[in-house]
Chains A and B, each alone.
Chain A
């Protein structure tokens, strides 16, 4: 019986998600201007679902103060209260409201992960494209530097840097961004190397175009597809890095709500068959899946244009 009801729940959730995705797509098609509506009409349900989820997260992050029933850090009840009454998801190990902390967690964790990934991409792709376009000593210098950085295990390197520079949100973002930028650098450089040998790049060079235009207007648009795909994946890795660092005590510092450390703080409850500590983990998983759904769709569109 337990198995059957589990299967029914799963089916209900899947059907609900599909219906939500379908409704969202229909709404977008109706509301958006003609060109964007045409794009949305051909979007698969997975992409639409991904968009809904991302939108929900963004809303939660931006309007956290309005949505959350309790403050982020206040102790509002007894420890480990069950899911009832005012505390719809119960309370955590210190008696703070779980639901409110989940919503504030969206702001903190997602915000930091987005900022970090964006910075890593800015740094990695600009340097990677530059190395591939200019070549020679610049390429050698940058590539060897990246090799050295990549030779050190990422987590240990991050721990080392955070111990040296201290743990603040800004250093956290900078450290993870620099480490992840090395991976982006290698990808961007490899992709751009295939593009710089094309005749249209030669034509642009012979026209006398300057380096910034060459990189931004001629090379970057052609390198976008793999970079966007990497963005989705990299975002998930950054997310996990932050959670791992938080777990080790060098990430986002308590009492700030962060999904990674929330799992750890409430881990004891799992022993009692309570799923509450898995909710933040589930929130991470859902966002990861949603981002990749959207990225896959964008990638498909980008490759479709080439044919």
Chain B
């Protein structure tokens, strides 16, 4: 690898951002060397400066940022001193960028192929007709269905995983020397992620493109990168070839990242059959308008137990939660709380019934009213359900802040915008706890958070469960989270429960075919995992077809 010529070289790069009338460092003292055809993984928590550094590799900074020190040389061209026209000539043609959310990055008013052709035609690399033929070829290589036809669709007519691949194809249009991938699979399901990852990796290898792969998911970076660089708060922690980094991390911070999935609670024994479940979902069928989304879903949640509901997006997990909370009255079936059937619509439930079941949301940003201070966000349920006022109310709010491990004096009068993602999620938990419920629905509560922060949230939820005897329904698509916290698992697909049982049972074969697919799609920290998996699936498919034929005979 080192025999190849150097493509990108950064020396002592320092990037500053402007906030509150002063400049402060976003990244500093970064050295980075990338050879032709090499893939470098950049990992770190959010706010570590990964994306800023990725953009700097194109000689670009976001508004309000500047590169104040150091040099960035791309193939002999100094990107900092080069005139804007020259940099613009490089971008798209020799350096390309793939953004995190393809859905937000495509222009919804233009067809995919029009957006594809823009770059090569603009740079004069190809004519429009050549670019269109080339697009079809690249769509085929990215393994998009109907490559000849898919480009003529609009972005909203294509699924998220397909869009991400279309965007990668677009980045490849001019056969650039360097592509920057900024968390391209973070927003995707595990099963879709596999397809995108393998398509990206094949394409990068075929064209011998160098790449910077930005992610916070270690297992993903292990599949993609030749070397890994770890960032923390804008500084480099360490850099090493992938295998070396995985087997022998040097720095304490890197070790803590590697160890993050180690949290596992002691599994509770199954509840005695005689015990009344806290929540019992019985044969629920529900529809949005005329579109059916749930079919005869049934499961129980017992005191002090966590039931994880797993499945891809669109499998009906969140809809089940909406039925339980009464936002979506089911067309058949019922929800019982401690043996008593609840009214189907939340508007008909009593204050006490509403209090007993609380919810924690996935996006803490939209779950907390941005105009309310923490005092009001947490205080309102206390005031509303328990009738506390004045001093007693303030005391209770402080107590709740203590419970979620936030310093009351510092946080009580803040607005949500003055908190980090993990702190916001803790406030969401405190709001649920404030009602003193028996049952809490956690809807993907950790999926928007970094691994270290998510770990803290899971531990907190675990502690609170033991302390307050809570029952949890934990909606997630992340099986690593399930392993960490669940007692029982319910696997859903297309609005049906395909498999359910205690965690230990669910993670040992034999599995339902769909559970197997989900389980095998979770990346391991092993750099050979993707190759092995793809190989196994290819054989498995051949085997299954053979078996199907023989069974048919």
Contacts and interface: CB of A to CB of B under 8 A. Distances in A.
A265 interface: no
A207 to B, nearest CB: 6
Interface stretch (A93-101, A117-125, A147-155, A196-204): A196-204
A41 interface: no
A207 B361 contact: no
Contacts of A139: none
B193 to A, nearest CB: 25
Contacts of B371: 221-222
Interface string A145-182: 00000000000000000000000000000000000000
Q: How large is the interface on B (under 10, 10 to 19, 20 to 34, 35 or more residues)?
A: 20 to 34
Nearest to B415: A305
13 contacts: A199-B361, A203-B359, A203-B431, A205-B346, A206-B326, A207-B354, A207-B381, A207-B385, A208-B351, A218-B369, A221-B371, A222-B370, A305-B415
B361 A203 contact: yes
A221 B361 CA distance: 21
A199 B363 contact: yes
A127 B384 CA distance: 26
A198 B366 contact: yes
A68 to B, nearest CB: 44
Nearest to A198: B366
Contacts of B369: 200, 204, 218, 221-222
A198 B362 CA distance: 12
Nearest to B435: A207
Interface of A: 198-200, 202-209, 218, 221-222, 305-307
A207 B380 CA distance: 10
Contacts of B536: none
A203 B349 CA distance: 15
Interface centre among A198, A222, A306, by most chain B C-beta atoms within 10 angstroms, is A198
Leading 3 A-B pairs by shortest Cβ distance? A221-B371, A199-B367, A200-B369
B521 interface: no
Contact of B325 (A204, A206, A222, A305): A206
A200 B367 contact: yes
Contacts, number: 47
A305 B373 CA distance: 13
Interface of B: 325-327, 346, 349, 351, 354, 359, 361, 363, 366-372, 380-381, 384-385, 415, 417, 431, 435
A205 B351 CA distance: 11
Contacts of B351: 208
Nearest to A200: B369
B370 A306 contact: yes
Contacts of B327: 202, 205-206
B366 A200 contact: yes
Contact of A199 (B366, B380, B385, B417): B366
A199 B325 CA distance: 13
Contacts of B435: 207
B509 to A, nearest CB: 38
B346 A206 contact: yes
B415 A206 contact: no
Contacts of A209: 384
A305 B370 CA distance: 9
Nearest to B358: A206
Given A199-B361, A199-B367, A207 B415 contact: no
Given A203-B359, A221-B371, A306-B417, 14 more contacts: A198-B366, A199-B366, A200-B367, A200-B368, A206-B326, A206-B359, A207-B354, A207-B380, A207-B381, A207-B385, A208-B384, A222-B371, A305-B417, A307-B417
Contacts of B384: 207-209
Contacts of B367: 199-200, 203
Contacts of A202: 327
A174 B370 CA distance: 35
A305 B369 CA distance: 13
B366 to A, nearest CB: 5
